[in-house]
Amino acid sequence: MTDALPFAGEPEDSHEAIMRATFCALQEHGYAGLSIQRIADEADLSKSTFYHHFDGKEDLLLSFLEFTLEEFDRVFKLESSGDPAKDLRTFFGLLLGDFPTAGGMPEQEDILATYVELRAQAVRNPDFRAKFTETDREFTARIAALVEEGIEDGVFRDVDPERTAQFLLTTLEGITLQNATRDDNPLPELRTAIESYMESELLVADSADS
Amino acid sequence: MTDALPFAGEPEDSHEAIMRATFCALQEHGYAGLSIQRIADEADLSKSTFYHHFDGKEDLLLSFLEFTLEEFDRVFKLESSGDPAKDLRTFFGLLLGDFPTAGGMPEQEDILATYVELRAQAVRNPDFRAKFTETDREFTARIAALVEEGIEDGVFRDVDPERTAQFLLTTLEGITLQNATRDDNPLPELRTAIESYMESELLVADSADS
């Protein structure tokens, strides 16, 4: 998988085939309807091959979260330009599902909805909670690095990068939650809101149109 | 129930007893483990009394969301002071669980976690989605009214009340989501972040310490 599209082309190995099948099965059946059998069917693998890779559903989903983070990083690296303001917008866009999806794969909206369903499992499952804590921290670190770069370049104000990053990630997660659980399509307006936050809090005045 | 505490004192009628039992059962068993039998047991009512009030689990939970919103309004009215900046902070605090809970009732943290579990059901359930869309809009309207009041009183800047309210609600929901699904207790830092947002975006400079 070397394409800019997540899950484009043929899977390179059975691990990737299982990740892809998990993605499709989650989308089709939801968290509650996810079963090893359904994933094995989707990936065209036997259940024994599946259990060669994973201990069970939870182990699989923790791997799946890991895989998703790696995919995110891979696509972000391909799309980043070296301009911190532009890259920050690209990063936010990717978090909100701005990537073309490969044919036959779930749509962006559905990917965000699946994220919310998985994240809600962390309420009662300590391993999921540990994993989402880790991914939140990694995302915060990536956003903070972009903010820091922008401050050094003189395009961002002298804010606290870590705190700003945490606030932004929290708001982006709130957007994802609302978008997946409301029926009035709040995404476009919320994107505008986060853009105005960037303009008023982050960008120095004379680079606001950069 | 006339107390400032949600669910304090004896329930006034069987509807309230069922709401209270739902709250406890959700907390104890989670959404997945919630059953009419468990709620009936918790409320010390027969299943037939239960079905006299509700068609089933989904109907009950929609009523429960309604009831929670009414409780929120009731407690907010009791605590509001007429000072828009103070009331906005009270409102945010209540959304983030700042209220003493009655003895024997779930703790604030658990209430926020239950909210996230219920909200995630809206990903796949259109009736839940409609209900959360409605409650989001009502919360946005309440926040916007406070922002408007603050602008009229000259303590808030001349922002767009509706857009600011939507952004704030989204961030508060992001905080709730993170708090219920991370194991590093992000709440105190996120509260600080929303306070600094209020100070830099909303409060006019000379009233920042009001």
Give the residue among B195, B148, B132 at the shortest CA–CA distance from B168: B195
CA distance A89 to A198: 9
Chain B touched by A33 (CB under 8 Å): no
Does residue A115 form part of some domain? yes
Q: What proportion of chain A, given as a percentage, has pLDDT over 90?
A: 46
Q: Kindly indicate the confidence band of residue B118, based on its pLDDT and cuts at 50, 70 and 90.
A: very high
Which has the higher per-residue pLDDT, B91 or B10?
Answer: B91
Q: Is B129's CB within 8 Å of A175's CB?
A: no
- The confidence score (pLDDT) of residue A11 equals 75
What integer best gives the mean pLDDT of chain A?
Answer: 87
Lowest mean pLDDT among A97-106, B69-78, B92-101, B135-144: A97-106
The confidence band for A208, taking pLDDT boundaries of 50, 70 and 90, is very low
Residues of A within 8 A of B30 (CB-CB) are 123-124
pLDDT above 50: residue B2 = no
The reply to whether B8 falls in a domain is no
CATH number, position A38: 1.10.357.10
- How confident is the model at residue B86, as a pLDDT? 96
| Domain that residue A185 falls in | 14-207
Model confidence at A90: pLDDT above 80 = yes
Q: Is the pLDDT of residue B209 over 70?
A: no
pLDDT tens figures, A8-32: 667 778 888 888 889 888 888 888 8
* b/e code A125-149 from CB counts within 10 Å (16+ = b): beebbebbbbbbeebbebbbebbbb
Contacts of A178 in chain B (CB under 8 A): 136, 170, 173
The residues near B82 (Cβ < 8 Å, ≥ 6 apart) are: none
pLDDT at A191 over 50: yes
Distance CA B70, CA B13 (A): 16
Summarize pLDDT for B42-51 with one digit per residue, the tens. Answer: 888 888 888 8
pLDDT of the residue at B206: 66
Q: What is the pLDDT of residue B30?
A: 80
CB A124 to CB B200 under 8 A? Answer: no
Q: Total domain count for chain A?
A: 1
In a domain? residue B5:
no
Tell me which range, A22-31, B108-117, B126-135, is most confidently predicted by mean pLDDT: B126-135
Whether A6 is covered by a domain: the verdict is: no
pLDDT of residue B3 exceeding 60, the answer is no
- How far, CA to CA in Å, does A131 sit from each of A126, A170, B33, B47, B183? 9, 16, 23, 40, 9
Residues of B in contact with A133 (CB under 8 A): 182-184
Chain B CB contacts of A158 under 8 Å are none
Q: Which residue has the higher pLDDT, B152 or B9?
A: B152
Which residues are bridge partners to A156 per DSSP?
A203
In a domain, A39, yes or no: yes
Residue among B183, B190, B195, B201 with most chain A CBs within 10 A, to mutate: B183
Residue B109 within any structural domain of the chain: yes
Q: Quick check: A82 pLDDT over 50?
A: yes
Q: Is B160 on the interface with A (CB under 8 A)?
A: no
Sign of dihedral through CA atoms A25, A42, A109, A72? positive
DSSP for chain B?
Answer: --SSSTT-SS-SSHHHHHHHHHHHHHHHHTTTT--HHHHHHHHT--HHHHHHH-SSHHHHHHHHHHHHHHHHHHHHHHH--S-HHHHHHHHHHHHTT-SPPPTTSPPHHHHHHHHHHHHHHTTT-HHHHHHHHHHHHHHHHHHHHHHHHHHHTTSB-S--HHHHHHHHHHHHHHHHHHHHH-SS--HHHHHHHHHHHIIIIIB-GGGTT-
For residue A2, is pLDDT > 70?
A: no
Q: Which residues of A touch B193 (CB under 8 A)?
A: 163, 166-167, 170
Q: Residue A165: its pLDDT value, please?
A: 95
Q: Of the candidates B58, B35, B62, B31, which has an alpha carbon nearest to the alpha carbon of residue B47?
A: B35
- Tens digits of per-residue pLDDT, A122-145? 999 999 999 999 999 999 999 999
Q: How far is A2 from chain B (nearest CA, A)?
A: 31
B203 bridge partner residues: B156
Q: How far is B199 from chain A (nearest CA, A)?
A: 12
Task: Indicate whether A68 pLDDT > 60.
Answer: yes
pLDDT at B17: 87
H-run or E-run covering A189: helix A187-197
Q: What is the ipTM of this complex?
A: 0.88
In a domain, B150, yes or no: yes
Considering only the beta carbons, identify the residue of B132, B169, B190 that sits closest to A181: B132
Asked if residue A128 is part of any domain, the answer here is: yes
Structure tokens at B127: 């009736």
Is any Cβ of chain B less than 8 angstroms from the Cβ of A14?
no
User: Distance (Å, rounded) from C-alpha B206 to C-alpha B210?
Assistant: 9
Mean pLDDT of the B115-144 span = 94
Amino acid B104: pLDDT? 61
Q: Which of A71, A81, A4 is nearest to A90 (CA)?
A: A81
DSSP designation for A159? -
Backbone angles phi, psi at A81, to 5 degrees: -115, -15
